A and B are shown apart, each in its own frame.
Chain A
Amino acid sequence: MKKYFLILLFIPNLALANPSHSDNNIDESKATFALHPKKLNWEFEGFFGRFDKASIQRGYQVYKEVCSACHSLKLLSYRNLQDIGFSEAEVKQIASEYLVTDGPNDDGEMFERPALPSDKFASPYPNEQSARSANGGAYPPDLSLIIKARHDGPNYVYSLLNGYVDAPDGFDLANGKNYNPYFEGRQISMPAPINDDGQVEYKDGTIATKEQMIIDVVNFLQYASEPETEHRKKMGVRTMIFLGILLVLLVLAKRAIWKNVK
């Protein structure tokens, strides 16, 4: 019976396994299925995963200067930036660069004021309709949860941003779309957002290669999706060690108690 119990442990794994697409597709130029993302080693992964705060800060800069032109980040507040190493004064300064609508005031009027650290990130568009109208009908998704909302999120976002290539000959690319083999259907409305080395000038002096910018922005988005990652894993390691020791003690106690049962 034991070995079948082991099989049971694999139920979730089996259930999660996706039937993989055939790799020897005959006509590559017609293929529309998405490629599996490239696997990278991220510092936040594994039992002892940690945030690379310098990278996350740079990633925030990439988000701010590139992504935020179209993508909102509604679930984050400016005060959250303190978690990734910005000082209170810096956060106040960053927030004050944005205007938010507040009110009504005593005269019943809505008014605009500079954002406070407690405000949520300001969105580029007031609503979905205006976002679509500005982007040829496509709706740039909010990025707050993008890592958790995609299979193999960090690798997917990395591969997608890095994956823009010319469409193969014979591929029927719709007007205004871009070819990206990591996107389901391979036609994506978003043009390659990160193209050239030096597109962002990093404040900490790191050389902004395309690769570096993409890795940094993935680190930032991972933080945005799961701000608790580091705390959770630290707590997890401690809890598992505690439970492991407790289990040994309990097994010994159990043996002692059952010893006299004949």
Chain B
Amino acid sequence: MSTNNDHKSHINDPKTPNEELQVFHSIHNDIDQSITEKSKIAGWINDRLPIIATLENTLKKHPYPKNLSYWWNFGSIAGICLVIQILSGLFLAMHYVPNTKHAFDSVEHIMRDVNYGWLIRYIHAVGASMFFVALYAHMIRSLYYGSYKAPREVLWWAGIIIFLVTMATAFMGYVLPWGQMSFWGATVITNLFSAIPVIGESIVQWLWGGYSVDNPTLNRFFVLHFLMPFLIVGIVLIHLMALHTAGSNNPSGVPMKSKKDSIPFHPYFTIKDMVGFVAFFLVFGYFLFFYPNALGHPDNYIPANPLVTPAHIVPEWYFLPFYAILRAVPDKLGGVLMMFGAIILLFFLPYLDRSKVRSGAYRPIFRKFFYLFVINFVFLGWLGKSPAEGWYIWASRLTTMYYYAYFLLILPILPRFEKTIPLPDSIDEHYKQKHV
């Protein structure tokens, strides 16, 4: 690759996010090779629809840091999860009936009578969990390597919005089979809005389309569950635009300084993404083929019954940490605010973290707090599954406090005291330290 041996690019040392963007764009513009100039047909098409230049830009011209680790695979993995969910969901929607009288039986009709219906439905149900595995891994990577910091704030915000809309979509999807957990989960979560003072009750009735979770609720949840994935696709495109404008962060957190730091997407990351996909599909397949119901709740195979409340109403595993925060607060409105606040807080992350050093790999004290944060988050999830009684309540209060303290105290204050490890001079040097 001429890209790697080309020394004519100007060496620069960006100090601020703006300088970083300038250097990145100049590296980008330096890389000139164009199919549209070499091929007449490609040129003809491109003059009328710039699709070839766009693809070429993404795959060949756009400079990616060459030291990206496998942690950078989860973005594309989350992307393929979205595609899998949309395709499997499309086929399910051809057989599913969004009516309280028929929904449960129509799902069983898919499972038993539709050709490979069981496979399509299990792909969709397990796929939802896998989507969240990918999203959480992707976000944890951003937290550790400081990928949310300037100049990538907008990229990060688009990601948080994707996370929020995906949560809403998953919640409504879980209601559709109209089992006991569907019904009671929907009842508990929609009732949260009644905590809003004065207008809360009216909002809940408006959400339900009636005076309880019933047929109008199921019908609109189906419509919204079908619609929202396409909104997610739109936000993903914005996320990608922001990514291609600011460039990828990397494990060293050091900005790109010259062409030597970079590598094109194709073939290097096409093949690496393939490795990630197949490794991920092995985990997916393990659940899909051997334990398809392990990530769900058995009560959802009991048809919804508004007269019988399940012993423990629990959401899907990917909501458990936030559910634990909700239950940790003794006041209903307070709990709702703390739960939504736990995600809204993420929007402020670029300003809360004051460290000049991006990557957690060069922040020895931060790293300990970060690992504790991850363990704390997993523990919160476990508490969300446990009954809200006895020591569990106190444990969830403590873990909730640490969740908030990590963002509101540790990230802003720690950089004042922390002595960071010297950074490598460049991405190129970091790559050589690791691989050569």
Contacts and interface: CB of A to CB of B under 8 A. Distances in A.
Interface of A: 1, 4-5, 7-8, 10-12, 14-19, 47, 75, 80, 141, 144-145, 148-151, 153, 184, 225, 227-228, 232-233, 235-237, 239-240, 243-244, 246-247, 250-251, 253-254, 257-258, 260-262
B407 interface: no
B66 to A, nearest CB: 6
A55 B266 CA distance: 56
Contacts of B378: 7-8, 10-11, 14
A5 B144 contact: no
Interface stretch (B15-23, B242-250, B294-302): B294-302
Given A75-B108, A149-B298, A150-B298, A14 B278 contact: no
Taking each of B4, B111, B298, B386, which has the highest tally of chain A beta carbons within 10 Å of its own beta carbon? B298
Nearest to A253: B271
Nearest to B296: A148
A240 B285 contact: yes
Contact of B129 (A12, A149, A228): A12
Nearest to B311: A184
Interface in B188-227: none
12 contacts: A7-B375, A11-B136, A11-B378, A16-B295, A19-B392, A235-B119, A247-B275, A247-B279, A254-B271, A254-B272, A261-B66, A261-B431
Interface residues of B, number: 59
B274 A257 contact: no
B289 A8 contact: no
Contacts of A258: 268, 271-272
A166 to B, nearest CB: 26
Given A5-B137, A12-B129, A261 B271 contact: no
Given A153-B298, A254-B275, A8 B140 contact: yes
B289 A233 contact: yes
B155 interface: no
B289 A257 contact: no
A257 B267 contact: yes
B1 to A, nearest CB: 8
A151 B267 contact: no
Nearest to A13: B294
B374 interface: yes
Which 6 residue pairs of A and B lie closest in terms of their CB atoms, listed nearest first? A236-B289, A149-B301, A15-B317, A145-B301, A148-B301, A228-B118
B285 A236 contact: yes
Contacts of B278: 243, 246-247, 250
Interface string B235-274: 0000000000000000000000000000100011001101
A108 B257 CA distance: 84
A98 B281 CA distance: 46
A261 B286 CA distance: 34
A141 B386 CA distance: 27
Nearest to B113: A77
B302 A149 contact: yes
